[in-house]
Structure 1
Amino acid sequence: ERWLLLPRRGIHILDPNRHDSSKMGFLVKGKPLSWKESDKVREYVKKHGVEQFIHIWKKNKDREDLDFLWGDEVEGFLCQLTEKEGKKAIKLSLRGSEVLEKLKEAEKEETEKAEEKAGCGTCPPSVIFHPEYGCFMIETTPSAPYGGFVRDLRCVEANMRLRRAKVKEHLKTGEVYSTMTTYPLMGVDKFTLPPHDPNGPVAKSQYVPDQLINPHPRFATLTANIRTRRGSKVDIRVPMFKDKNTPPADTEIHMDAMAFGMGCCCLQTTFLARNLEEARSLYDHLAVLGPIMLALTAATPLYRGRVADTDVRWSVISQSVDDRTPEERGEVPEAKEKALKKSRYDSISLFIADAANAYFKDKYNDLNVKFDKEAFDRMRKEGLDEILAKHIAHLWIRDPLVIYQSRVELDDTKDVDHFENIQSTNWQSVRFKPPPNSDIGWRVEFRTMEVQLTDFENAAFTVFIALVSRAILAFALNLYIPISKVDDNMHTAHKRDAVTSHKFHWRQDLGSTISQHMLKKNGGTTVTNPLKSTSGSNNGGLKASGFMRSIIEVKESEFRDDTLDNFCRVKADNRFVLVYGELDEKGESWCPGCSRALPIVEAKLKSFQSSTALLKLPVSMKLFKDNEKHPYRIQERLNIQSIPTLIRVGAKGIFDTPLASKWCTDTFCVNQYMAYSAAKRLRGGSTKALLKEDSKGNDSISETTIKKIMLGQGGSEPLGLIPIVHAYLDMIECDSETRKVVNGYLDLIADRASGKLMTAATWIRRYVELHPEYKKDSKLNEPLVHDLMNTLDR
Structure 2
Amino acid sequence: MGLLTEGTPLSWEETKKLASHVREHGIKQFINIYKKLKERKGDVLKWGDEIEYIIVKFEHEKQEAKVSLRAVEMLEVLNEAEIQNPNTVKFLWRPEFAAYMIEGTPGKPYGGTLAHFNVVESNMRNRREEASELLKENECLMTLTSFPRLGCPNFTVPPSQPTPNEGGTKSLFFPDAAVFPGHPRFMNLVRNIRKRRGEHVAINLPVFRDKNTKIPVDDSHRIRKAALPDCVYLDAMGFGMGCCCLQLTFQACNIDEARILYDQLTPLCPIMLAFSAASPIHRGFLTDIDCRWNIISGSVDCRTEEERGLKPLKENKFVIKKSRYDSIDSYLSPQGEKYNDIPILYNEEDYRKLRDNGIDHLLAQHIAHLFIRDTVSLFSEKINQNDEEDTDHFENIQSTNWQTMRFKPPPPHSTIGWRVEFRPCEVQVTDFENAAIVCFVVLLTRVILSYQLNFLIPISKVDENIQNAQKRNALKDQKFWFRKDITTDVSPPEANQCCKGTKCETTECDLIGLMTVNEIINGKQGEFPGLIPLINSYLNGMDVDADTHCTIQQYLKFIQKRASGEIHTTASFIRDFVTNHPNYKQDSVVSDEINYDLLTTLKDIEHGEKSCPELLGYSATSKTRENIPHALKNDF
TM-score by length of 1: 0.71
1:464/1:58 Cα in 2 relative to 1: closer, same or farther (>3 Å)?
same
For each residue in 1:434-458, what CA deviation from the matched residue of structure 2 results, as whole angstroms up to 9, or x when unmatched?
A: 1110111100000000000000000
The answer to whether the aligner puts 1:198 opposite 2:162 as a matched pair is: yes
The answer to whether the aligner puts 1:142 opposite 2:106 as a matched pair is: yes
Q: For residues 692 and 746 of structure 1, what CA distance do their matches in structure 2 show?
A: 31
1:366/1:712 Cα in 2 relative to 1: closer, same or farther (>3 Å)?
same
The one-letter amino acid paired with 1:291 is P
Equivalent residue number for residue 300 of structure 2: 321
What is the CA-CA distance between 1:718 and the residue it aligns to?
1.9
The answer to whether the aligner puts 1:55 opposite 2:32 as a matched pair is: yes
The one-letter amino acid paired with 2:353 is R
The answer to whether the aligner puts 1:763 opposite 2:570 as a matched pair is: no
- Listed as ranges, the gaps of 5+ residues in structure 1 are 1-23, 116-124, 513-688
1:695/1:780 Cα in 2 relative to 1: closer, same or farther (>3 Å)?
closer
The one-letter amino acid paired with 1:380 is R
The answer to whether the aligner puts 1:510 opposite 2:474 as a matched pair is: no
**What does 1:709-788 correspond to in 2, within 5 Å?**
709-714=520-525, 716-788=526-598
The answer to whether the aligner puts 1:415 opposite 2:355 as a matched pair is: no
Q: For residues 542 and 374 of structure 2, what CA distance do their matches in structure 1 show?
A: 46
> 1:65 touches 1:441 (CA, 8 Å); kept in 2?
no
Q: For residues 269 and 192 of structure 1, what CA distance do their matches in structure 2 show?
A: 30
For each residue in 1:151-196, what CA deviation from the matched residue of structure 2 results, as whole angstroms up to 9, or x when unmatched?
A: 1011100000001111111101111111010111111112111111
Q: For residues 370 and 334 of structure 1, what CA distance do their matches in structure 2 show?
A: 15
The one-letter amino acid paired with 1:372 is N
Equivalent residue number for residue 221 of structure 2: none
Q: For residues 133 and 295 of structure 2, what CA distance do their matches in structure 1 show?
A: 32
The one-letter amino acid paired with 1:98 is E
1:397/1:737 Cα in 2 relative to 1: closer, same or farther (>3 Å)?
same
What is the CA-CA distance between 1:275 and the residue it aligns to?
0.7
> 2:43 touches 2:251 (CA, 8 Å); kept in 1?
no
Q: For residues 727 and 71 of structure 1, what CA distance do their matches in structure 2 show?
A: 24
Q: For residues 491 and 190 of structure 2, what CA distance do their matches in structure 1 show?
A: 47
1:54/1:699 Cα in 2 relative to 1: closer, same or farther (>3 Å)?
farther
For each residue in 1:609-665, what CA deviation from the matched residue of structure 2 results, as whole angstroms up to 9, or x when unmatched?
A: xxxxxxxxxxxxxxxxxxxxxxxxxxxxxxxxxxxxxxxxxxxxxxxxxxxxxxxxx
Which of the residues 460, 463, 474 maps onto 1:498? 474
**What does 1:649-664 correspond to in 2, within 5 Å?**
none
Structure with max Cα Rg: 1
The one-letter amino acid paired with 2:10 is L
Give SS of 1:783's match.
helix
The answer to whether the aligner puts 1:484 opposite 2:460 as a matched pair is: yes
The one-letter amino acid paired with 1:327 is E
Equivalent residue number for residue 69 of structure 1: 46
Which of the residues 306, 311, 321 maps onto 1:341? 321
What is the CA-CA distance between 1:109 and the residue it aligns to?
6.0
> 1:100 touches 1:129 (CA, 8 Å); kept in 2?
yes
Equivalent residue number for residue 173 of structure 1: 137
Equivalent residue number for residue 232 of structure 1: 199
For each residue in 1:9-63, what CA deviation from the matched residue of structure 2 results, as whole angstroms up to 9, or x when unmatched?
A: xxxxxxxxxxxxxxx3221221011110123322111001000000011111111
The answer to whether the aligner puts 1:381 opposite 2:347 as a matched pair is: no
Equivalent residue number for residue 189 of structure 2: 222
Give SS of 1:72's match.
strand
The one-letter amino acid paired with 1:39 is K
Give SS of 1:398's match.
coil
**What does 1:611-622 correspond to in 2, within 5 Å?**
none
> 2:66 touches 2:156 (CA, 8 Å); kept in 1?
yes
Which of the residues 65, 68, 78 maps onto 1:90? 65
What is the CA-CA distance between 1:695 and the residue it aligns to?
5.5
Give SS of 2:529's match.
coil
> 2:27 touches 2:350 (CA, 8 Å); kept in 1?
yes
The one-letter amino acid paired with 1:241 is F
What is the CA-CA distance between 1:338 and the residue it aligns to?
2.9
Equivalent residue number for residue 701 of structure 1: 512
What is the CA-CA distance between 1:65 and the residue it aligns to?
3.2
Q: For residues 158 and 111 of structure 1, what CA distance do their matches in structure 2 show?
A: 21
What is the CA-CA distance between 1:735 and the residue it aligns to?
2.5
Q: For residues 100 and 249 of structure 2, what CA distance do their matches in structure 1 show?
A: 24
> 1:260 touches 1:320 (CA, 8 Å); kept in 2?
yes
Equivalent residue number for residue 372 of structure 2: 397
Equivalent residue number for residue 78 of structure 2: 103
> 1:511 touches 1:692 (CA, 8 Å); kept in 2?
no
Equivalent residue number for residue 618 of structure 1: none
Q: For residues 143 and 581 of structure 2, what CA distance do their matches in structure 1 show?
A: 21
The answer to whether the aligner puts 1:474 opposite 2:285 as a matched pair is: no
Q: For residues 440 and 141 of structure 2, what CA distance do their matches in structure 1 show?
A: 25
> 2:247 touches 2:425 (CA, 8 Å); kept in 1?
yes
Which is further off, 442-451 or 96-105?
A: 96-105
Query: Alignment RMSD, CA only?
Result: 1.7
Q: For residues 427 and 692 of structure 1, what CA distance do their matches in structure 2 show?
A: 29
Equivalent residue number for residue 308 of structure 1: 287
> 2:331 touches 2:337 (CA, 8 Å); kept in 1?
no
What is the CA-CA distance between 1:342 and the residue it aligns to?
0.3
For each residue in 1:352-397, what CA deviation from the matched residue of structure 2 results, as whole angstroms up to 9, or x when unmatched?
A: 113xx4xx342x1111221011110000001111111000000011
For each residue in 1:125-152, what CA deviation from the matched residue of structure 2 results, as whole angstroms up to 9, or x when unmatched?
A: 7211111000100101000000011110
For each residue in 1:232-284, what CA deviation from the matched residue of structure 2 results, as whole angstroms up to 9, or x when unmatched?
A: 01001111100111013332110100000000000000000111111111101
Equivalent residue number for residue 177 of structure 2: 211
The one-letter amino acid paired with 1:155 is V
> 2:337 touches 2:362 (CA, 8 Å); kept in 1?
no
The one-letter amino acid paired with 1:269 is L
TM-score by length of 2: 0.88
Equivalent residue number for residue 125 of structure 2: 161
Give SS of 1:36's match.
helix
Give SS of 2:92's match.
strand
Which is further off, 425-434 or 37-46?
A: 37-46
Equivalent residue number for residue 129 of structure 1: 93
What is the CA-CA distance between 1:692 and the residue it aligns to?
10
Equivalent residue number for residue 632 of structure 2: none
What is the CA-CA distance between 1:99 and the residue it aligns to?
1.1
Equivalent residue number for residue 38 of structure 1: 15
Q: For residues 293 and 284 of structure 2, what CA distance do their matches in structure 1 show?
A: 18
